[in-house]
Amino acid sequence: MISLIDTHIHLDAPELGGQGLKLLPEAQRCGIDRLVVPGVRVSGWAGMLALAEKTENVYLAPGLHPAYADQWNAAAASQLRELTQQPKVVAIGEIGLDGTVAIPLPQQEIVFRAQLDIALDVGLPVLLHARDATGAVLTILRELGIGQRIGGIWHGFSASIQVAQDLVELGFKIGVGPILLRENARKLPDAVKVLPASALVLETDLPDMAETPETLVRVAEKIAELRSASLDEVARTTTENAQQLFEL
Ligand SMILES: [Zn+2]
């Protein structure tokens, strides 16, 4: 039986109507025995905690998504700091910059940096979200030495091989998700072929990018095909990589 870790799954997404935990038996059947749920909105953090308390294999990465950066204030900052003391909290996420949303990038950057500061203070890795802002996110990560100091995952990776290699050099893992399964995907398969095995982790980003937990197995199979490796090997290395980063 293979053992996989989904490093990015929104079990608490409003689209799932509170039924996210019902996906766990299927995940278990597919060999997905640990899952990390990233934060999106401040109002979702309490529900995430309740979800993790009800289950053994669900871990949390609370944080504020850049699309909701306007929810950030002193109360949110202290709430996030307190959350990091919970045993099931293994990272801060998903945080970063998003050039496609209405909130101005300078405002997003203040919130991104504030959350990076908390992660650095408490020594937790980060789950990064970067959309139409790759260069700006890279600059901040470099400036603060985030890769070497706490590490993290660049979630939903779809940038160039060059960016992937820069990230790996900086000490980050590459979150490989359902984009890899797209008929017209080019850059991601090329990157997956050449990156070191130690850099790859798996994610579904359900429900945005996948409908069923099983998609994670499809992604792992595709990685195996692209790298001429066995599914077992991909499962073992991606699980080890995630475990290196998170205390699961
Ligand atoms: Zn996400």
**Segment-wise mean pLDDT, segments of 10 residues, the chain, 248 residues:** 96 94 96 97 97 95 98 98 97 98 98 98 98 97 98 95 96 98 94 97 96 97 98 98 95
CA of 208 to the centre of ligand 1 (A): 7
Strands (E), the chain: 4-6, 32-38, 58-61, 92-98, 126-131, 152-154, 172-176, 200-202
**Full-prediction pTM beyond 0.85?**
yes
The conformation of residue 30, written as its DSSP 8-state character, comes to T
pLDDT at 196: 97
CA of 178 to the centre of ligand 1 (A): 12
| Interatomic CA distance for residues 234 and 176, integer angstroms | 12
Domain ranges for the chain, please list them.
Answer: 4-245
pLDDT at 40: 98
Q: Are 44 and 14 in contact (CB under 8 A)?
A: no
| Interatomic CA distance for residues 228 and 207, integer angstroms | 29
Residue type, 15: E
> Mapping DSSP to helix (H, G, I), strand (E, B) and coil, where does residue 100 land?
coil
Neighbours of ion ligand 1 (CB under 5 A): 205
CATH number of 4-245: 3.20.20.140
CA of 207 to the centre of ligand 1 (A): 9
Q: Are 239 and 31 in contact (CB under 8 A)?
A: no
CA of 127 to the centre of ligand 1 (A): 9
Pairing of strands 4-6, 172-176: unpaired
CA of 190 to the centre of ligand 1 (A): 23
pLDDT at 1: 82
How is residue 10 written in tokens? 């929104």
